[in-house]
Structure 1
Amino acid sequence: MNDVSSVDSSVVHRLGFVDGFNGKRNEVLFCGTPNPEHNVVFFGGDVQEYPEVMLAHRDNKNYIQWNLENTCRLLADKFPRSHVFIIKPSSMHLKTFSSYMNFVESDIMGCPMHSEGQQSWQSLSALLENSVAKVHPEFSPSLEVPLDIIGFSKGCVVLNQLVYDMKADDELTKKVRGLYWLDGGHNGGSKTWITDLKLLEVLASTCINVFCHVTPYQLGDSNRKWIAKEQKKFVSVLRRLSAKVSNTVHFEGEERNLDLHFKVLTEFV
């Protein structure tokens, strides 16, 4: 890769497999500007892949607009003066269903089994450190700037696990400026949103800004009615705990569909 001083934020670099914590590895994409003021980490949802993979898929090609490279550029535009890192899932079942098993114990479909002590922060820290080394070996100071972490759809399971593993005095936690839950959802039977009081108390005790952006695609799912109930409780409990939380419902009143679900990516900032 070229020296980071000449990096063009519109150019997306595939860093390939990056070493994480305890022998785990994830593929990472990067784009950004020189001398970042903050870092952005993104965990995507089902379907999102490299453009050529999506184009080769009978169904997923219909959503090619939301491929990971386009998403990386979109985030770079939304967060100027930033370094953007997209961490790919550990696996994509049937080239569609994302599983982030390197962050949270999950089944092949990506349904999480949350519990404390899964070392998700260590995984994130190692991936960031080694990704920066691949971008430019001498650019470690970029790890000292504030951090925004974004989960979209299935990617929100990683944010949830980070909360399970959160300690208010953790060094990386102190760098987090904002956590963004974008229309979180998965195929499991519950725990799409965190409702455990003790976990939310830890989150509320930090200085982290919590942003929730949701659409009828998840909130209006008649087959998964628990999503709306859990999301409402997540926000209400954090507000009662005086956390810095905002909640935005996009496309309210419109018919739920996958296009609007993806479109939250363009609307959330």
Structure 2
Amino acid sequence: GTPVVHISLRRDGAKNKSLICCRFMLSARAVGWGLTVVSVAGAMSSLSGSTCAGCRGLGLHRLGAVPGRDPNRTNDMLLLPPQIQDHSSASKHVVFFHGDIQNFHEEMALHSDAAPWVGWSLEQAGRVLGRRFPDSHIWVVRASRMYLHKFSCYQHFVQCNMFGAPEHSGYEAGQGAFCQLRSLLSNAMTRANLPHPLPPPEGSDTTIPPGFSLTLVGFSKGCVVLNQLVYELPGAQSDPLMSEFVQRISDMFWLDGGHPGGSETWVTNKAVLKELASSGISVHAHVTPYEVCDPMRAWVGREHEVFVKTLEEFGACPSKKLHFEDEPPSIENHFRVIQEF
């Protein structure tokens, strides 16, 4: 059966604050709350097979425990085939990295703090992206660990603590986010029996299929993967086994990036941003007041501004938009950026 984590939440203080927090950060947003893990019955199940209950009627296929750069670094994935078939759709791919709380539909429905947001499950996110990119394969990558069923941890892409706060580093051949991403896509395409799958980076023939293009989308915590890719970009471009793959990335979308660390929510390192600006990758930064206008985490807004302005200084033209700027900050609008970008 599905393993369950039983959690008791102890509230100190008089105000009736919501138990639901997109990041559930150990910060000012979580002051006055105590967490006690009562019991943990096993790890999250590795879901294998094809179509899942939450995917019926959506054209989604679930691929469980897809191996990345080594057999022990696996991620569950969802695949939504192109909704519009043409001569180029077989080669277009969009990869989505989700935020905290988001999980498969049935996992979210089991937990009271996630259930109110089940409308933003991984299945639903895949379907929304399918409407946004109807001529592309949509790949939803589930974080390899969901601490307390809330905190998405992408430790197979970037070093991070138990709450998913990252520690970014540069490129290392055969390691890191680029290698994990390419290996995941290669193995997932092979398992899904797609024609002309992406070859693994360590194979005898690493030639990228003709017309292959890649769009990367990170939402909230998922943006830590995009940030790590930016830190690795200079080295990856210099690696003959990875450079052609990097050149096939057409667009990167940051959607309301956020994580529980106290800095580096957005990349501000000028050296790596200079490489991003000259890479030819189209950069898109979509935010909401929930992240960039929070006075308790003022560095997020400042870092976002530095990210955009630095890219502009280096000659890039990142697209940027503040969504719902005339509405009060809310978790609902935070999620809605997935639909509105």
What TM-score range do you get, normalising by the shorter chain?
over 0.9
Q: In 2 relative to 1, CA 143–18 (structure 1 residues): closer, same or farther, beyond 3 Å?
A: farther
Residue 16 of structure 1 is matched in structure 2 by: 64
Residue 193 of structure 1 is matched in structure 2 by: 266
Larger mean Cα displacement after TM superposition, 29-38 or 205-214? 29-38
Render the CA deviation track for 1:39-93: whole Å, top value 9, x for unaligned.
0000000011011111111111111110000111111111011101111101001
Residue 125 of structure 1 is matched in structure 2 by: 182
Find 2:302's aligned residue among 222, 225, 229: 229
Q: Is the Cα–Cα contact under 8 Å of residues 208 and 244 in structure 1 kept in the other structure?
A: no
Residue 52 of structure 1 is matched in structure 2 by: 106
Give the % identical residues.
39
Q: Is the Cα–Cα contact under 8 Å of residues 9 and 73 in structure 1 kept in the other structure?
A: no
2: CA distance between counterparts of 1:17 and 1:230?
35
1:222-261 maps to which residues of 2 (within 5 A)?
222-261=295-334
- What is the TM-score when the length of structure 1 is the normalising length? 0.93
Gaps of 5+ in 1: 3-7
Letter in 1 for 2:58: S
2: CA distance between counterparts of 1:18 and 1:177?
24
Shift of 1:176: 0.5
2: CA distance between counterparts of 1:227 and 1:38?
32
Letter in 2 for 1:13: H
Q: Does 1:212 align with 2:295?
A: no
Q: Post-superposition, which runs of at least 4 consecutive aligned residues in structure 1 deviate over 2 A?
A: 33-37, 141-144
Shift of 1:143: 5.5
Find 1:28's aligned residue among 52, 77, 83: 77
1:96-107 maps to which residues of 2 (within 5 A)?
96-107=150-161
Shift of 1:137: 5.7
Shift of 1:111: 0.4
Question: What value does the CA root-mean-square deviation take over the aligned residues?
Answer: 1.8
Larger mean Cα displacement after TM superposition, 227-236 or 54-63? 54-63
Shift of 1:115: 1.2
Find 1:160's aligned residue among 227, 232, 235: 227
2: CA distance between counterparts of 1:152 and 1:122?
21
Larger mean Cα displacement after TM superposition, 114-123 or 190-199? 114-123
2: CA distance between counterparts of 1:75 and 1:134?
22
Gaps of 5+ in 2: 1-48, 51-55, 199-207
Letter in 2 for 1:83: H
2: CA distance between counterparts of 1:137 and 1:61?
34
Shift of 1:200: 0.3
* Structure of higher RCO (CA pairs closer than 8 Å, 6+ residues apart): 1
Letter in 1 for 2:186: E
Shift of 1:244: 3.1
1: CA distance between counterparts of 2:194 and 2:325?
46
2: CA distance between counterparts of 1:110 and 1:183?
16
Letter in 2 for 1:232: E
- What is the TM-score when the length of structure 2 is the normalising length? 0.74
Q: Is the Cα–Cα contact under 8 Å of residues 156 and 176 in structure 2 kept in the other structure?
A: no
1:22-101 maps to which residues of 2 (within 5 A)?
22-23=70-71, 24-33=73-82, 35-101=89-155
1: CA distance between counterparts of 2:195 and 2:320?
39
2: CA distance between counterparts of 1:246 and 1:70?
25
Question: Could you say which structure has the larger radius of gyration?
Answer: 2
Q: Is the Cα–Cα contact under 8 Å of residues 50 and 69 in structure 1 kept in the other structure?
A: yes
